[in-house]
């Protein structure tokens, strides 16, 4: 019954960057133990009426009061909790994506703690945490990835059975997640990239990696490996080492020059981008409807891999 109800409730929830649990968003039902507890109260009440026994009446009303108080405490344990997703580090397809879920209480003026909060990600990965006043709890939710592109965070269920387990209060939330899943790398060691010097109109000086030739001012996208850190420590600004030589190490990675289907080509390009960055090369990316100019550095690598991850969506939008 709860599963059917939960599916119906999820259809009415929209995605949001941050979610604060109000009383209207929290649902509560008795657990199996709670139903047994209620039946026991009814049996005691029937016995008290039948025998007209004051002591049985006392225990009946005491147990009923404990049940009602437990119900309110279970709901209040979730009330005013705020959930959001922090920055997510991109991964390659078929790797495990780590989602840092931040949970904190918005009751700044009350000394209220929240105990045994259960976090469930799409009916698995059940985790428990306690949230204390003026503190936040960060829970790492791990989920496998099966497709590249913009990651759609599965539905989250935040629940509690505190304090007696007689009731289960829960809230279903849908959080926005800006995580990117890169295409799975497909090894390609035979691809001959086209030199990018002439197409970019650059002179050989400053683009090769054979002989050191001097310094120049840092430009966005330059590899951190070539920064002259000693000069920076002497407060001379960010300077980059330049090299000259016959080997330019500057080239284009072209989608149309690879073989295989679309996913295979994207996987090969993903591999070539990672290899080029590890070697310290400067590279550009040519897709069917997008061109990323030649550069290097972690920002440039992410830009290229993100373009590969979103390739099909960009193509459909065009």
Residue 203 and residue 156 share a domain: no
pLDDT bracket for residue 212 (50, 70, 90): low
Q: Which residue has the tokens 């310290």?
A: 280
Residue 145 and residue 208 share a domain: no
Q: Tell me, yes or no, whether 188 lies in a domain.
A: no
Residue 206 and residue 162 share a domain: no
Best CA proximity match to 149, nearest among 307, 317, 316: 307
Domain boundary among 182, 217, 245: 182
Q: Which helix (H) or strand (E) holds 229?
A: helix 229-233
Q: Tell me, yes or no, whether 229 lies in a domain.
A: yes
Q: Tell me, yes or no, whether 217 lies in a domain.
A: yes
Instruction: Give residue-wise pLDDT tens across range 15-74.
Output: 788 889 989 889 999 999 999 999 999 999 999 999 999 999 999 999 999 999 999 999
**Three-state DSSP class for 253?**
strand
**Cα–Cα distance measured from residue 283 to residue 221, given in angstroms and rounded to the nearest whole number:** 11
Assessment of whether the complete model's pTM goes beyond 0.85: no
Burial string for 166-175 (b: 16+ CB within 10 Å, else e) reads bbbbbbbbbb
Listed in sequence order, the residues at least 6 apart from 220 whose beta carbon sits closer than 8 Å to its beta carbon are 297, 299
Residue 90 and residue 14 share a domain: yes
Instruction: Give residue-wise pLDDT tens across range 72-116.
Output: 999 999 998 999 998 888 999 999 998 899 998 887 656 678 999
Q: How many H helices and E strands in the chain?
A: 8, 18
For the chain, what is the domain count? Answer: 2
Residue 78 and residue 158 share a domain: yes
Residue 124 and residue 158 share a domain: yes
The more confident residue out of 198 and 177 is 177
Residue 252, pLDDT > 60, answer yes
Q: Tell me, yes or no, whether 166 lies in a domain.
A: yes
Q: Tell me, yes or no, whether 60 lies in a domain.
A: yes
Instruction: Give residue-wise pLDDT tens across range 117-165.
Output: 999 887 666 889 898 877 888 998 888 898 999 888 888 899 999 999 9
Residue 33 and residue 162 share a domain: yes
Domain span at 223: 194-317
């Amino acid at each position: 019954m709860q599963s059917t109800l939960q599916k119906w409730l999820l259809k009415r929830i929209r995605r949001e960057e941050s979610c604060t649990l109000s009383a209207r968003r929290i649902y509560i039902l008795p657990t199996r133990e709670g139903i047994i507890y209620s039946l026991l109260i009814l049996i005691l009440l029937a016995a008290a009426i039948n025998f007209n026994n004051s002591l049985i009446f006392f225990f009946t009303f005491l147990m009923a009061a404990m049940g009602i108080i437990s119900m309110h405490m279970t709901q209040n344990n979730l009330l005013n909790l705020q959930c959001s997703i922090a920055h997510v580090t991109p991964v390659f397809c078929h790797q495990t994506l780590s989602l840092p879920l931040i949970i904190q209480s918005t009751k700044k003026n009350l000394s209220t703690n929240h105990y045994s909060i259960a976090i469930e990600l799409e009916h698995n990965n059940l985790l428990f945490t306690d949230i204390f006043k003026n503190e936040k709890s960060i829970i790492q939710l791990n989920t496998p990835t099966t497709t590249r592109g913009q990651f759609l965070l599965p539905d989250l269920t935040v629940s509690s059975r505190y304090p007696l387990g007689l009731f289960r209060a829960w809230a279903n939330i849908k959080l926005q997640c800006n995580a990117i899943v890169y295409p799975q790398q497909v090894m390609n060691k035979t691809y001959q990239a086209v030199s990018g010097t002439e197409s970019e109109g650059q002179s050989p000086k400053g683009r090769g990696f054979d002989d050191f030739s001097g310094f120049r001012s840092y430009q966005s996208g330059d590899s951190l490996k070539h920064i002259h850190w000693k000069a920076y420590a002497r407060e001379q600004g960010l300077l980059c080492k330049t090299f000259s030589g016959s080997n330019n190490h500057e080239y284009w990675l072209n989608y149309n020059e690879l073989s295989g289907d679309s996913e295979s080509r994207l996987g090969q390009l993903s591999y070539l981008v990672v290899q080029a960055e590890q070697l310290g090369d400067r590279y550009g990316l040519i897709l069917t409807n997008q061109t990323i100019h030649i550069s290097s550095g972690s920002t440039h690598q992410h830009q290229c891999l993100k373009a590969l991850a979103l390739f099909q969506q960009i193509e459909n939008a065009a």
